[in-house]
């Protein structure tokens, strides 16, 4: 240390010591009543992606929730994730893909029609500085209400009035079939009726795509049947980078990535859903591919590592662009 440095250093110390003698002003920091914005941006090749949070639904679950695991095993898995027993937190995060030429929204949130704690998607569009009218294309993964309700308000008005809506053809064929609906009961019956509420009067405008095809620029539909008959994931490619939007293939990472063979009652065809889940988890783990998943904790993106018994979700770290 030179003499000059030492003098500067000592002066600094003296100033600090002096400051400590002055009593601090009383802190006045009332608690905020709302959370910060649910917006997280990241880049993939030349595309910019925006994770837009819609909220969370705390779903009570019982011992029948997983067909092939006991209630105690499920509660142990929740405890291992530091979550309370008997409740599954299901968050909703829609993914907006800006290709540079098009704005593509993958799934649409709940429009406040599922849980009081969800329905903030449009607030987060606003926070992100994006006008819902600017969305060009909506891609739907499947017809469960938490993925399609955001197409319309409760009163039937389109929320993204200029967007073309594209849906998996096998999903459309299953849910819009009256013979299938007549056989359904309970919640599944309600899903049939809800699909009609959303799609019936706009049926002529809805594009139906075949999984395996490119459904928007750089976005390829990938069959992931089982959760529902036409449940679809989306591989997004830009430049030399790719990622997989897994939709509901895994649903909750602490239950179904760690225990990929578990069959929740949400999966309409349990064994087929397990096959899709394992196939996709294997692919993204082997390729070290970035993933996004609609119900994962916000911002719902990260990576998947293979473990001895299953897979582990490694969330992305918040970082500046």
Is residue 248 a contact residue for Zn ion (CB under 5 A)? yes
Distances (CA, A) of 13 to 8, 16, 43, 292, 307: 9, 5, 44, 49, 51
Closest CA to 117 of 211, 165, 53: 53
Q: Which helix (H) or strand (E) element contains residue 159? A: none
Nearer to Zn ion, 228 or 238 (CB): 228
Cβ proximity of 226 and 264 under 8 Å = no
Dist. CA 69–CA 261, nearest whole Å: 9
Nearer to Zn ion, 99 or 198 (CB): 198
Judged by CB under 5 A, how many residues of this single chain contact Zn ion? 3
Cβ proximity of 226 and 268 under 8 Å = yes
Per-residue contact flags (x/-) with Zn ion for residues 200 to 239, judged by CB under 5 A? ----------------------------------------
Min dist CB 266 to Zn ion, Å, is 8
Nearer to Zn ion, 47 or 66 (CB): 66
Question: 116 by DSSP, 3-state: which?
Answer: coil
Distances (CA, A) of 285 to 130, 135, 166: 33, 31, 29
Min dist CB 312 to Zn ion, Å, is 21
Min dist CB 21 to Zn ion, Å, is 59
Per-residue contact flags (x/-) with Zn ion for residues 117 to 146, judged by CB under 5 A? ---------------------------x-x
Nearer to Zn ion, 150 or 211 (CB): 150
Nearer to Zn ion, 146 or 292 (CB): 146
Residues contributing to the site for Zn ion (CB under 5 A): 144, 146, 248
């Amino acid at each position: 240390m030179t003499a000059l440095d030492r003098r500067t250093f000592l002066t600094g110390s003296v100033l600090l010591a002096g400051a400590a003698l002055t009593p601090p002003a009383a802190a006045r920091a009332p608690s905020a009543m709302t959370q910060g914005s649910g917006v997280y941006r990241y880049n993939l090749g030349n595309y910019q992606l925006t994770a837009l949070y819609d909220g969370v639904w705390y779903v009570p679950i019982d011992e029948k929730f997983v067909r092939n695991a006991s209630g105690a095993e499920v509660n142990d898995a929740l405890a291992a994730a530091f979550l309370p027993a008997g409740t599954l937190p299901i968050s909703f995060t829609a993914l907006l893909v800006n290709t540079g030429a098009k704005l593509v929204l993958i799934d649409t949130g709940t429009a406040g029609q599922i849980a009081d704690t969800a329905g903030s998607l449009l607030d987060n569009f606003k926070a992100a500085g994006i006008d819902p009218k600017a969305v060009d294309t909506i891609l739907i993964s499947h017809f469960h209400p938490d993925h399609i309700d955001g197409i319309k308000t409760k009163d039937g008005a389109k929320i993204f009035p200029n967007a073309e809506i594209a849906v998996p053809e096998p999903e459309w064929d299953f849910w819009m079939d009256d013979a299938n609906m007549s056989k359904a009961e309970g919640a599944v019956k309600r899903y049939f009726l809800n699909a009609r509420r959303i799609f019936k009067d706009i049926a002529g405008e809805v594009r139906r795509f075949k999984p395996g095809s490119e459904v928007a620029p750089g976005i390829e539909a990938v069959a992931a049947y089982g959760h529902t008959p036409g449940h679809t994931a989306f591989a997004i490619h830009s430049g030399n980078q790719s990622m997989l939007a897994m939709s509901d293939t895994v649903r909750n990472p602490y239950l179904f990535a760690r225990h990929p063979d578990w069959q929740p009652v949400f999966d309409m065809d349990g064994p087929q859903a397990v096959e899709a889940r394992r196939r996709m988890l294997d692919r993204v783990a082997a390729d070290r591919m970035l993933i996004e998943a609609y119900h994962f904790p916000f911002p719902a993106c990260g990576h998947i590592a293979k473990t001895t018994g299953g897979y582990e979700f490694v969330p992305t770290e918040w970082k500046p662009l």
